[in-house]
Amino acid sequence: MMYGMIHLCNLQEKLTLTDMGILMTAAVCHDLDHPGYNNTYQINARTELAVRYNDISPLENHHCAVAFQILSLPECNIFANVDPDAFKQIRQAIITLILATDMARHGEILDSFKQKVDNFDFTNEEHVTCLKMVLIKCCDISNEVRPTEVAEPWVDCLLEEYFMQSDREKSEGLPVAPFMDRDKVTKPTAQIGFIKFVLIPMFETVMKLFPQIEEIMVQPLRDSRDHYEELKQIDDAMTEVEPVLQQTANSPAHTPCKIANWHFYK
């Protein structure tokens, strides 16, 4: 996705080659050694990662640390021939981008970008850093930009990861986020809010600077929102009909065949 955004937005004409390398390296490394339990769990459960990083973006800090452990290996050091001062700046830039993927910072980072986007200056280092942070955030949570047949299986995987966490939280007596609770969330309800209130506003803000992403990225998000809203309407209708169906199933005046046909339709 980062590769796609770089080319779609013609960033190779606006940013430096070093910036390209920073964006791509941060994108590759941003979730290294992810344990499958989010920062909220890490902090509430007082895990080793939370203790090590003082409850401050424990996962993102861990991803950075693992990335540079790997990059320190002679056979993996893609920066071996980079000047030490330049490497210091590159390292800091990669850390900044990976730490920006902590969703707890979403509002702060997007608000900062909104303040700059109408008068964006590609020669302003602060502006460019903010853009790179928003770009990696877009790529990090870009699943719904992809076609439904590609995106939906990953939504299933994500929900299963959420449910595993919420089950563990329940068993350990920890707080459970409603959007992760298998007893409270469905695929449509999980996706609608995220698409409407997180994805579309962020991508539409980026669209102000790069109008070319509307057709390829923003419109698919709108289509995905509509798709899940339709699924939710069907789920809601089924929920309303289910008690009637149950009553019908228990009535001797209705044949099993009709009940079977209903369940097949459902």
**Numbered residues of the known binding site for Zn(2+):** 30-31, 140
Tokens of 253: 């005046």
Alpha-carbon distance of 69 to 58, in angstroms, equals: 16
Q: Which residues are annotated as a binding site?
A: 30-31, 140
Tokens of 52: 């090590």
**CA-only gyration radius of the chain, Å:** 23
Distance of alpha carbon 190 from the chain centroid: 12
119 CB-contact burial (10 Å; exposed 0-12 / middle 13-18 / buried 19+)? exposed
Alpha-carbon distance of 229 to 231, in angstroms, equals: 5
- Angle (nearest 5°) at CA 139 between 110 and 95: 75
